[in-house]
Chain A
Amino acid sequence: MYEFNYQAPASLADATKAIAAAEDGKLLAGGMTLVPTLKQRLARPSDLIDLGRIAELKAIKVDGGTVTIGAMATHAEVGASAAVQQAIPGLSWLASNIGDPAVRHRGTLGGSISNNDPAADYPAALLALGATIYTTKRQLSAADFFVGMFETALELDEIVTAVSFPIPEKAAYQKFRNPASRYAVVGVFVAKTGGGARVAVTGAGPSVFRVPAFEAALDRSFAAASLDGLTIDAGELNSDIHASADYRAHLVAVFAKRAVAEIS
């Protein structure tokens, strides 16, 4: 690891000042990606601003038709929340199946989405549920937030504070795990909402995306059989040592059907 200055502000206001003042600062959430990145000397920030001391970023609440989760809530905390489990069981399951238990004790919602790893789980939930991302500067829709591979709409000194998820009629997440890292080789989040069915895919492409053809078929009839014969184009998908693009395209259809079957 290269050297850096470390700060752990106790409030969001102080964190905002610290990141704005840093020459080339990075925000540290749970560190499950950033710390390995630093260890491999793939990043050389001048300053690390640790958000771990900011209590106001950890709240989880459910009111009316919305689940709102603070950016620094860990995957374990989201997974253990009875309120989340009752409101959106698919989101609860997703959080409970990221990585492994020790990773879930440190990794956070805000860290996961700000990194926008193409194989991260949370982006699929945010896009399928039509979540709103709150930051220190504005609020963004999930569709506007996730821009590309490891890229979001966040500015360099902008901090995610919370994400609110409209509660759908039903939702489920299914993924094909990498056997070593537990990352999603392909993950599909399906939601049945008042505005229609929404299908979001992670792991398969450079960044999370929706599948309009699957959504239209599910709007006609919300059943796994509605997806029979439907496929997605492998042309834009990732190909690596874990899976070819063609195989990922196949998995998207299979795991979309499994998610629909779980809730229909």
Chain B
Amino acid sequence: MSAPVSMTVNGRKVTANVEPRTLLVQYLRDQLGLTGTHVGCDTSQCGACLVHVDGKSVKSCTMLVAQAEGAEILTIEGLSSGELHPMQAAFKEHHGLQCGFCTPGMVMSAVDLVKQNPAPTEHDIRDWLEGNICRCTGYHNIVKAVEAGAKAMGGSHAG
């Protein structure tokens, strides 16, 4: 039994018929083809599926697409057009990734942090990233990247 949902994804209005049991991440990946949002643990711990819903970071593997009816969704694909977003550029510059699987979630999480806390300390960053797991880097360069990304965003860029 399908029901219509509509929302705005990366600035584009979208409408689809979905089964109510469809997860937001399934809708983004399988129906909209936005595969930058990853499924890692699928148990709301790792943060690879993190997207913004009405400006707030959420784990899209633990939200029904029906719960996002009418919402504004931002995924890694919509973070910037053309040039890299300053947070993406900082991850590249500071080698804040190795395999890259966790990176979209890390970047989206970091952008939300800087929106709420424009000048985060190292402690703030490590605390905030509790819900994003990386199996490669040991986090050190991710923290450096987020510090640099926050400075580059200048506290004014809301993603």
Chain A's interface size range is: 20 to 34
- Is A3 a contact partner of B19 (Cβ separation < 8 A)? yes
What CA separation (Å) do A1 and B53 show in the bound complex?
22
CA distance A1 to B66 in the complex (A): 14
B56-101 interface with A by 8 A CB criterion: 56-59, 62-64, 66-67, 69
Asked whether A4 and B21 contact (CB < 8 A) given A102-B47, A102-B57, A102-B109, the answer is: yes
Chain B residues in 8 Å Cβ range of A230: none
Q: How far is the CB of A4 from chain B (nearest CB, A)?
A: 6
B109–A101 contact, CB under 8 A?
yes
Given contacts A5-B1, A76-B56, A105-B56, whether A99 and B21 have CB atoms under 8 Å apart is no
B17 contacts across to A, CB distance below 8 A:
none
- Asked if A232 CB lies within 8 Å of chain B CBs, one says no
Q: How many contacts A-B (CB < 8 Å)?
A: 77
B130 sits at the interface (CB 8 A): yes
* B112 part of interface (Cβ distance < 8 Å): yes
- Hey, which chain A residues are within 8 Å of B112, CB to CB? 101
Cα A15 to Cα B139 with chains together (Å): 44
| Stretch of A31-39, A133-141, A212-220 that contacts chain B | A31-39
Q: A2-B21, A4-B21 are in contact. Are A99 and B131 (CB under 8 A)?
A: yes
Interface window among B29-37, B38-46, B142-150, B151-159: B38-46
Which chain A residues lie closer than 8 Å to B53 at the CB level? Answer: 105
Residues in B whose Cβ lies below 8 Å from that of A3: 1, 19-21
Return chain B residues, CB-CB under 8 Å to A6.
3, 20, 64, 66
- Which residue in A32, A48, A52, A182 is a CB contact (below 8 Å) of B20? A48
| CB <8 Å contact, A100 and B131 | yes
Shortest distance from the beta carbon of B81 to any chain A beta carbon, whole Å: 25
> Cβ of A264 < 8 Å from any Cβ of B?
no
Q: How far is the CB of A41 from chain B (nearest CB, A)?
A: 11
Query: Can you list 12 A-B contacts (CB < 8 A)?
Result: A31-B62, A52-B67, A100-B47, A100-B132, A101-B57, A101-B109, A101-B113, A101-B130, A102-B47, A103-B59, A105-B53, A105-B56
Residues of B within 8 A of A (CB): 1, 3, 19-21, 23, 42-45, 47, 50, 53, 56-59, 62-64, 66-67, 69, 109, 112-113, 128, 130-132
Which of A's residues lie within 8 Å of B, judged by CB?
1-6, 8, 28, 31-32, 35-36, 38-39, 48, 50, 52, 76, 99-103, 105-106, 180-182
